[in-house]
Amino acid sequence: MADNDPDRRKFLKVATCALGGGVGLVAAVPVVRFVLDPAGKTTVSTPSEPLDLGNVDRFRVGAPPRRVEVIAPLVKDGWTSARDVVLGAAWIRRIEPTKIEAFSAVCPHLGCAIGWEGKDFLCPCHDSRFSVTGEKTTGPSERGLDPLPVQIKDGRLQLTWVRYKTGSSSREPV
């Protein structure tokens, strides 16, 4: 057999390419996994269970709504975790000793902060107004204030934080 046999050269060429391609593939798999891995996962996690807002007696029956910051004890993302993160704010109103309602302090129009102005809620950005029950009375907002689930458990007020899409008439969680 001669060293310049065309079949042998072809075999060596194919074998070298296959070996190189295999090594390249082995090296590429972890890189591809690293890039694509977060795509199918939730990278930021906020609490989905009710958050404790304190003793229910701090909210008096018949008093004006009270703004309370909603603080998550722990929020994690793909790299870090943070404690006591402010998720937003809620307006709490105690109607009866066992009946409390809560509204998100985020305007459903464009996400501005809602304030209380004597007898109704007001969005200072575009002058949307909402009644004490959260219904839209005037302004460009397409819907009323977004309600937040609350419950009283062992004398403590617990609220489940929900963030809603802004700018639409339908109430959809984000």
pLDDT higher than 80, residue 60? yes
Q: How far apart are CA 108 and CA 145, in angstroms?
A: 6
| Torsion sign (Cα): 11, 12, 13, 17 | positive
Percent of the residues in the chain that have a pLDDT greater than 90, as a whole number: 43
Q: How far apart are CA 9 and CA 117, in angstroms?
A: 87
pLDDT of residue 90: 95
Summarised one tens digit per residue, pLDDT across range 121-157 is: 999 988 899 999 999 999 999 999 999 999 999 999 9
- Average pLDDT of the chain is 87
DSSP states along 25-55: HHHHHHHHHHHHGGGGS---B---SPEEEEE
Confidence of residue 109 (pLDDT cuts 50, 70, 90): very high
What is this structure's pTM? 0.72
∠ CA 135-136-139, rounded to 5°: 170
CATH assignment, 51-159: 2.102.10.10
- The answer to which of 59-63, 72-76, 95-99 has the lowest mean pLDDT is 72-76
Mode of pairing for the β-strands spanning 147-148 and 81-96? unpaired
pLDDT higher than 60, residue 8? yes
DSSP summary character for residue 113: B
pLDDT of residue 7: 85
Higher-confidence position of 55 and 43: 55
Mode of pairing for the β-strands spanning 81-96 and 136-138? unpaired
> Over the Cα atoms of the chain, what is R_g?
29
